[in-house]
Amino acid sequence: MAASISGLLKPWTPSVFLVRWSRYNPYYLEPEVSKEAYSRPETELSAEEKEQRELKALRPIKAATSGVTSSVFDDPVISKFINMMMEHGNKVLAREIMTQTLENIKKKQVEKYHKASEGEREVIECNPYTIFHQALENCKPVVGLASIQKGGKYYQVPIPLTDNRRRFLAMKWMITECQDNKHRRTHMYEKLSQELLAAFGKEGNVIKKKYELHKMAEANRAYAHYRWW
Amino acid sequence: MALHRLSLRLRPTVTHVRSLHSGGCRQQQEAVAVDSEPEPFSVFRTRESDPACHSEKHLGQYYTLPSAHIRTLFPSGLPWRYQQQVKTFNEACIMVRQPSLEVISYLKKTDYSKPALRYLFYGQKGTGKTISLCHTVHFCYTQGWLVLHIPDAHQWVKNCKELLPSSYNASRFDQPLQATTWLRNFRLTNERFLSKIKTKHRYMWTKREFTEEGSLLGELVDQGISRVKSSSDVVGAVMKELRLQSGQPGSDFRLAVAVDGVNGLWGRSTIKKEDKSAVDPEELTLIYNLRKLMRNDWTGGAIIATLSQTGSLYTPKSAYLPQELLGERGFDSMDPFIPVSVPNYSEKEFESCYLYYMDRHWLQHPQSRTEEGKKELVFLSNRNPSMLDRICGFL
């Protein structure tokens, strides 16, 4: 849709330069942050990619948000999680909590690794990033419920979820669980690391919540035909 | 056998490392018998766990502190993040660096019949001053010295929960809690000296309690721990006794005074009296006695100190030089001293630290093991030891 509109539009530069707004003229292109994308030589690119490169020389490009970096350690999932944890725009605090969580997870696992015997060492996963991604995968629900009105009553109907929605639900459950249902004197990074390690091992309250949602969806299977999309 | 082949492969890197140092070391190494210093089994670690044998060829290498020494020597002397690291890695390793090696070489060569020399570690925030102090203190401990270690002088001038007027001198204030914790740590560190040293003076604590002349130091320390009210005065008495006895021909011990954050002694304090006016550090018994110990009017030992801006009060964040942090009074009292600068990691030291973290499975991010990731670590941390530690913590 954006492509057809941009075909009709004439090239224009705005009188006021847009910085960091989320609503852009569809004429604008997305920024490419990673260094590898630019280091590939001409020969390796396909025709479309060559066309894209030429277009970048002509069209204006959206401003990159402050959450993306060209660092090799940049991870979009972790950035999304930090944004969801952030309150009142305090990104510094949210990032601090995330880094402390990762360090805490790694500390616990490395300590276990060094104290374990040779045979047990292969099983212990020390990388906090794989633990985070795997825990989030384990928390993602497969089907969700939607409230659909039929004949004056509202029914909870099982529906398929998009990938973005599933990831959002997993992260939201994780954060609310840690904020509400833990002992009040523990730090957030401590609560998060405990919950993430439990989810990695397919136990804990968030996994339980996912299973309950699945059970509800299974129970309401009869109403699945109420969905019209 | 595999180890022998591994060491052959590492030999080019090891000789490259060795060629940085003087030829004299190498000849000395070859002249010495085979069993004294075997080939190091990795580039960043050394098997030599005795600080007295550390020399230039161990620069940049990590040596392991025995866990028994850690428990006795440093009940609270190590930085918090380092203690966590020791717990995680199940071992305590310190890098042999130029500043501490320099001070240790001076300590080996001093004439202990002259007045005590004062060594001061100074540097930017996070460059490793406290760890250098701990390395030097470990050397003194392994040589059999009596170690008087004050882990952080700033803790004595702030956050005081109990402030009592001193029983000895009405214008001064006592801090019983800090004094008792310090006496307990002192007792733990110097067990073997407590039953050997005898007091030369008679001390009267109350109308009925007193310590006779010629009683053991251990009794004095126990008196301070059990009678909390007079513990600050006991600390003063212990310092006075050790100072008087250390240079004497009869005593068989050497005294090492190690103070971390020595600029706190001459700064300001945040402790308030009952009428909300600030207490001058001079009015605190502990600080007053410690200042007397920092003068170089005694013989038979050394004073090793560190400056610290992190815990200090009312000093700007950018200050790190002795002149700025000690102030006029502090500098005049400490003058003359031997300043030892502690810089950021050099390239070789950074390599060594990186390899150590890789060995201990601390760097887990797949990108951190690549060249690009390493360059990024150098850029982000500026080779500052504490920044590198914080960054590698979550990678």
The ipTM estimated for the assembled molecules is 0.85
B381, B375 contact by CB (below 8 A)? no
Structural domain of residue B234, as residue ranges? 110-341
- List the 357-376 stretch of B: residues with Cβ below 8 A of A: 360-362, 364-368, 370, 372-373, 376
Model confidence, pTM: 0.85
CA of A205 vs chain B CAs: smallest distance (Å): 25
Q: Along the 395 residues of chain B, how does pLDDT read in single tens digits?
A: 444 444 444 444 444 444 344 333 344 444 444 444 455 567 888 888 888 888 888 899 999 999 999 999 999 889 999 999 999 999 999 999 999 999 999 999 998 889 999 999 999 999 999 999 999 999 999 999 999 999 999 999 988 888 888 888 888 998 999 999 999 999 999 988 888 888 888 888 877 888 888 888 898 899 889 988 889 999 999 999 899 888 888 788 899 999 999 999 998 999 988 888 988 999 999 999 999 999 888 988 999 999 999 989 999 999 999 999 999 999 999 889 999 999 999 999 999 999 999 999 999 999 999 999 999 999 999 999 999 999 999 98
User: Can you tell me which residue has the tokens 């402790």?
Assistant: B271
Mutation for A interface: B80, B81, B88, most A CBs within 10 A: B88
CA of A116 vs chain B CAs: smallest distance (Å): 11
Kindly determine whether residue A73 and residue B368, on different chains, have CB atoms separated by under 8 Å: yes
Establish if B163 belongs to a structural domain.
Answer: yes
Q: Above pLDDT 90, what percent of chain A?
A: 63
> pLDDT tens digits, residue range B150-160?
999 999 998 88
Write down the H helix ranges in B19-66.
Answer: 23-31
User: Can you tell me which residue has the tokens 């402390």?
Assistant: A100
3-class secondary structure, B204 = strand
Establish if B200 belongs to a structural domain.
Answer: yes
Residue ending a domain, among B297, B320, B341, is: B341
Write the residue in B361, B366, B395 that is nearest to A110 by C-beta: B361
3-class secondary structure, A87 = coil
3-class secondary structure, A125 = coil
Kindly determine whether residue B90 and residue A100, on different chains, have CB atoms separated by under 8 Å: no
pLDDT of residue A36: 82
Residue ending a domain, among B325, B341, B357, is: B341
Report the alpha-carbon distance of residue B240 to residue B217 in Å, rounded: 12
Q: Which helix (H) or strand (E) holds B95?
A: strand B92-95
B364, A106 contact by CB (below 8 A)? yes
Establish if B312 belongs to a structural domain.
Answer: yes
What's the Cα-to-Cα distance from B36 to each of A67, B5, B32, B53, rounded to whole Å?
55, 21, 7, 10
Kindly determine whether residue A103 and residue B370, on different chains, have CB atoms separated by under 8 Å: no
C-alpha angle B22-B26-B30 in degrees, rounded to nearest 5: 165
DSSP A13: -
Centroid of chain to Cα B286: 19
User: Same domain, yes or no, for B156 and B299?
Assistant: yes
User: Same domain, yes or no, for B219 and B237?
Assistant: yes
Residue ending a domain, among B321, B341, B361, is: B341
Q: Compute φ and ψ for B324, nearest 5 degrees.
A: -75, -45
CA of B11 vs chain A CAs: smallest distance (Å): 29
A195, A139 contact by CB (below 8 A)? no
DSSP per residue over B31-76, as a string? HS-TTTSPPPSSSSB-S---GGG--GGGTT-EEEEPHHHHHHH-SS
Kindly determine whether residue A127 and residue B372, on different chains, have CB atoms separated by under 8 Å: no
Q: B319 is written with which tokens?
A: 């200050």
User: Same domain, yes or no, for B236 and B174?
Assistant: yes
Total count of domains within chain B: 2
User: Same domain, yes or no, for B205 and B309?
Assistant: yes
pLDDT of residue A174: 95
Report the alpha-carbon distance of residue A156 to residue B92 in Å, rounded: 58
* Number of separate helices (H) and strands (E) present in chain B: 15, 11
User: Same domain, yes or no, for B268 and B371?
Assistant: no
User: Same domain, yes or no, for B178 and B217?
Assistant: yes
CATH number at residue B132: 3.40.50
Centroid of chain to Cα B336: 20
Selection from B106, B244, B235, B227 nearest residue B172 by Cα? B235
Selection from B344, B258, B235 nearest residue B78 by Cα? B258
Establish if B92 belongs to a structural domain.
Answer: no
pLDDT of residue B253: 87
Selection from B92, B101, B112, B104 nearest residue B143 by Cα? B104
Selection from B172, B257, B186 nearest residue B224 by Cα? B186
Give the amino acid at B394.
F
Residues of chain A with confidence (pLDDT) below 70: 1-21, 45
Burial of B340 by CB count in 10 Å (0-12 exposed, 13-18 middle, 19+ buried)? buried
Establish if B144 belongs to a structural domain.
Answer: yes
Centroid of chain to Cα B124: 17
Mode of pairing for the β-strands spanning B255-260 and B301-306: parallel
Establish if B294 belongs to a structural domain.
Answer: yes
B84 touches chain A (CB under 8 A): yes
Establish if B44 belongs to a structural domain.
Answer: no
B180, B288 contact by CB (below 8 A)? no
User: Same domain, yes or no, for B335 and B354?
Assistant: no
User: Same domain, yes or no, for B134 and B202?
Assistant: yes
Establish if B98 belongs to a structural domain.
Answer: no
User: Same domain, yes or no, for B303 and B353?
Assistant: no
Give the amino acid at B190.
N
Average pLDDT, chain A: 89
User: Same domain, yes or no, for B329 and B356?
Assistant: no
Burial of B377 by CB count in 10 Å (0-12 exposed, 13-18 middle, 19+ buried)? buried
Report the alpha-carbon distance of residue B156 to residue B164 in Å, rounded: 14
Report the alpha-carbon distance of residue A124 to residue A115 in Å, rounded: 11
User: Same domain, yes or no, for B306 and B218?
Assistant: yes
pLDDT of residue B43: 84
Note the maximum CA span of chain B: 75
CA of B41 vs chain A CAs: smallest distance (Å): 20
User: Same domain, yes or no, for B258 and B385?
Assistant: no
Packed helices B176-189 and B231-246: angle between N→C axes, nearest 10 degrees: 40
Report the alpha-carbon distance of residue B314 to residue B295 in Å, rounded: 25
DSSP per residue over A143-172, as a string? EEEEEEEETTEEEEEEEE--HHHHHHHHHH
Give the amino acid at A14.
P
Kindly determine whether residue A114 and residue B393, on different chains, have CB atoms separated by under 8 Å: no
> pLDDT tens digits, residue range A90-147?
999 999 999 999 999 999 999 999 999 989 999 999 999 999 999 999 999 999 999 9
Q: Which residues of B fall within a CB distance of 8 Å from A98?
A: 394
